[in-house]
Chains A and B, each alone.
Chain A
């Protein structure tokens, strides 16, 4: 099968465009999250989304209303993770773990009350990037514009606060507000991208391109740009390989990301020795 034939399919075009947009968002946010040791927040928030979706399914809400109902719950949970880490004197990873466990437990309980697991609920867990509809692509594009605009507006403050929060505070920056902006942008990305790519891929795209970029990047801006390029490259590569070899797309993207990470890790070692 040649490239032209692959690109002639509408579902492939949508998958490549939607996947690339989500990859850029996750990779850019991932650099900030990984450096702040909040890399699992995507996983935690995805589990909260899972619980919230179960709730909406219990009330038999339609898909559009479902997303609208889930957004405030997940945004509130994101702020809850921050508050837990700041006020309850527990580390960020423990706060994420708590909220994540509560999210998934709520989902399972509600699904059980509703009379068993629903197929729709599982589609949120695993997603299917090849089945992105035109309306989902439009949502991904809208999300892309909002989140990228947010990152650009707050870029220098996010960078300063990620580098050293106390120094940023001593410069008069409102680090609480900056932290809230970061987790809210992440929460928005997770909610809207989860139905498209699933929990596993969101979590992988938040972490893997960022850690790969951090192996080789010389500078903060370079790390952000490299992470976005790696995210897009691996998603396009993963979708294409999975299509040609008839493999599960999400899993293929994750494995390709890991291979690229290993190559970057080896390259870093070589550069250090030379």
Chain B
């Protein structure tokens, strides 16, 4: 039996006494492309951070790639692309090549030295992403779209089984956003990478994702886009117009 890519069971989480996630449960199969939507403060980013081990839940259980999160150490199999860098310094002295190479650290043990294999993996990833020509550029000199591409390359350099993205297209113009989505879609199809994508872009995600998880502290809907678009319960929840907005490009 194939391991599930992700299993979340009865997950609860909160900050300073306020509950952010209430009894969230869902399962993601390998190769799925899950769009995670919901209003601001609905717990999307909190859930992603818990899955990545960056935050601790109040209760509940998570299994990633068949292993309980508490005992999961194979971080090279998970790629993470945030909305942007935490405290991005445009003058940070790192080249594109150096940034992508950092993604290889998760596959290494102390003292985490790079080898020729790492150089090869970095070159292959840059080639696949079409960014080899900017390898020597400084990360701060790049446009927002190119910078996100570089961070995506960093997330993909280990050929991860699961790619987790938290609103990666927020700062991008519509054209760049569309090409970014296409790239993720190709990767999901060609490399069979399981994708979790948090987005506010409900009008576009239906074109690319196979599944929709709609969160508002708890799971409002989880299933395939076809199920969502045919669900009268969801028509009742979102209204016909709201449901159409999500479904019209699917």
A residues adjacent to B (C-beta < 8 A): 35, 153-154, 156-157, 159-160, 163-173, 213-214, 217-223
Contact = CB atoms under 8 A, between A and B. Distances in A.
B105 interface: yes
B20 interface: no
Contact of B98 (A154, A168, A220): A220
B245 interface: no
B105 A218 contact: no
A166 B105 contact: no
A173 B105 contact: yes
Interface stretch (B4-12, B111-119, B228-236): B111-119
Interface residues of B, number: 33
Given A157-B112, A166-B54, A169-B54, A222 B86 contact: no
A78 to B, nearest CB: 21
A69 to B, nearest CB: 32
A167 B82 contact: yes
B93 A164 contact: no
A171 B106 contact: yes
Given A167-B82, A170-B52, A171-B103, A156 B98 contact: no
B14 to A, nearest CB: 17
15 contacts: A35-B93, A153-B110, A157-B112, A160-B102, A160-B105, A163-B94, A166-B82, A169-B52, A170-B54, A170-B78, A171-B102, A172-B106, A217-B93, A218-B95, A219-B138
A173 B106 CA distance: 7
B208 interface: no
A18 B105 CA distance: 35
Contacts of A213: 93
A166 B87 CA distance: 10
Nearest to B85: A164
List the 4 closest pairs (A to B, CB-CB), nearest first: A172-B75, A171-B106, A223-B93, A170-B80
A214 B138 CA distance: 12
A157 B114 CA distance: 12
A154 B112 CA distance: 8
B113 to A, nearest CB: 7
B94 A219 contact: yes
B75 A218 contact: no
B15 interface: no
Contact of B91 (A164, A166, A173, A214): A214
Contacts of A154: 111
A148 to B, nearest CB: 14
Nearest to A217: B93
Nearest to A174: B110
A159 B95 contact: no
B93 A167 contact: no
A156 B52 contact: no
A220 B111 contact: no
Contacts of A165: 86
B98 to A, nearest CB: 5
Given A166-B54, A172-B106, A218-B93, A156 B80 contact: no
B167 to A, nearest CB: 14
B136 interface: yes
Nearest to A170: B80
Contacts of B99: 163
A38 to B, nearest CB: 12
A156 B93 contact: no
A214 B111 CA distance: 26
Given A156-B114, A218-B138, A220-B98, A163 B105 contact: no
Given A220-B93, A220-B94, 12 more contacts: A156-B113, A157-B112, A163-B94, A163-B99, A167-B82, A167-B154, A172-B106, A214-B91, A214-B93, A219-B94, A220-B95, A222-B93
A219 B95 contact: yes
B86 A219 contact: no
B75 A35 contact: no
Contacts of A166: 54, 82, 86
Contacts of A223: 93
Contacts of B73: 172
A223 B98 CA distance: 12
B185 to A, nearest CB: 23
B117 to A, nearest CB: 15
